[in-house]
Amino acid sequence: MIKNDLFLRALKGETVDRPPVWMMRQAGRYLPEFMEIKAKYDFFTRCQTPELASEITVQPIRRYGMDAAILFCDILVIPQAMNIHVEMKPGIGPWLPNPIRTKKDLERVIVPDIHETLGYVMEAIKMTKEKLNDDIPLIGFAGSPWTILCYCVQGQGSKNFDIAKGFCFTNPIEAHELLQKITDTTILYLKEKVKAGVNAVQLFDSWGGMLSPVDYQEFSWQYIQQIIDALKDETQVIAFGKGCWFALDTMAKSGAAALGIDWTCSARNARYLTGGKITLQGNFDPVRLLSPPKTIKKMVKEMIDDFGKDRYIVNLGHGILPNIPVENAGAFIEAVKEYKSEA
């Protein structure tokens, strides 16, 4: 039994004294103890070494005591497993030297054996579960098929992913074949994560907002729905689409346990668009963590009041930034733990 099950209870829509809190990307780049590990090991070594990944996962829990841990890893381990070469270049970020842009390129993309290619992730989960000792739940995650396609076709990060979008619009048959391969791999991957011990999973559709509402349904949401359908009877699924407020009504009917909300959508609109019956997670602007701690605490209380303490998980509207002072991140967590509703 998980000792602090606040996060799991919120996912189930149960009444709680205060909402649970965790932060996207909480394991990593803003923490001095993480930077010490980063100085010794390159990015994918950190992801692929279970001892390192599990240590990085629990670092923020030791420091702040969040209500859930999220496994340190990266969404791009999926294309790596699918026979697509991915590097992490300093100053550039993700770098795929041989992007998928033709039918011939697509022929080398495989749906892999998860144990052979991603077994290190399952080992990291088991090691992390031992370290957490059932104190709090552990979240596993994956990128949405569309977001993964963006990197696989563009070859690197982008402000508009024009090459990736162009590929989908000019080669829709190949695009859907690639999306289906990513979807099939992701389902296998997340099912193994659940078997290894994660208590919930989150799907990150970081670049969903790059698509129009019509294109979003065709090239992103239908594949996320496949993943939710495959996982929802085995674990709690959180779906997070950055910039995808226009799809919230569809998402709310998907069978997901919760929906992530970014900072461009108000609590009121999010509740309205989702029908008020599903757990929501978010939506503090990550840059707002540069505000003074006193301001952060005041804004967090207002945010909880706006969403309501039930069917709500406090989080950021996207990942925490590297330049956030540790005391400001602490103020964010403390504000939730100190929360008392006026009712």
List the CATH number of the domain containing 180.
Answer: 3.20.20.210
pTM of the model: 0.97
Quick check: is 273 in a domain? Answer: yes
Does 1 fall in a domain?
no
- Strands 312-316 and 279-284 come out as parallel
Which residues have a Cβ under 8 Å from the Cβ of 311 and sit 6 or more positions away? 10, 13, 277, 278, 279, 280
Largest interatomic CA distance in the chain: 62
The type of residue at 243 is G
Task: Give the annotated binding-site residues for substrate.
Answer: 25-29, 44, 74, 151, 206, 318
134 contact partners, CB below 8 Å, separation of at least 6? 1, 2, 3
| Residue showing tokens 């039918």 | 103
Task: Please answer whether residues 79 and 152 qualify as being in contact, where contact means their C-beta atoms are separated by less than 8 angstroms.
Answer: yes
Query: Is residue 25 assigned to a domain?
Result: yes
Provide the phi-psi class of 70: left if phi over 0, else alpha when psi is between -120 and 50, else beta: beta
Taking the chain, what is the end-to-end CA distance rounded to the nearest angstrom?
31
Using alpha carbons, list the distances in angstroms from residue 38 to 129, 255, 309: 22, 38, 37
Nearest CA to 24 out of 64, 58, 70, 78 is that of 70
Q: For residue 45, what are the domain limits?
A: 6-337
Tell me the binding residues.
Answer: 25-29, 44, 74, 151, 206, 318
Please calculate the CA angle 231-143-308 and round it to the nearest 5 degrees.
70
- d(CA 255, CA 251) in angstroms, rounded, equals 8
Residues 13 and 311 sit within 8 Å (Cβ to Cβ): yes
Helix (H) or strand (E) run with residue 283 in it: strand 279-284
Alpha helix segments (H runs only) across the chain? 6-11, 32-38, 43-48, 50-64, 77-81, 103-107, 114-132, 145-154, 162-170, 172-196, 213-216, 222-231, 248-252, 267-273, 293-307, 326-337
* pLDDT at residue 341, rounded to an integer: 73
Asked if residue 178 is part of any domain, the answer here is yes
Tokens 């009041």 sit on residue: 305
Distance CA 280, CA 274 (A): 9
* Residue ranges for the chain with pLDDT beneath 50: none
Number of domains composing the chain: 1
Residue 342 lies in a domain: no
Distance CA(141)–CA(77), nearest Å, equals 11
Q: What b/e sequence results for 207-218 when a residue is b if at least 16 CB atoms lie within 10 Å of its CB, and e otherwise?
A: bbbbbeeebbeb
Q: Give pLDDT, residue 342.
A: 64
| pLDDT tens by residue, 136-147 | 999 999 999 999
**Looking at the domain assignment, is residue 65 inside a domain?**
yes
Element (H, E) at 282: strand 279-284
With respect to residue 111, please indicate whether it lies within any of the assigned structural domains.
Answer: yes
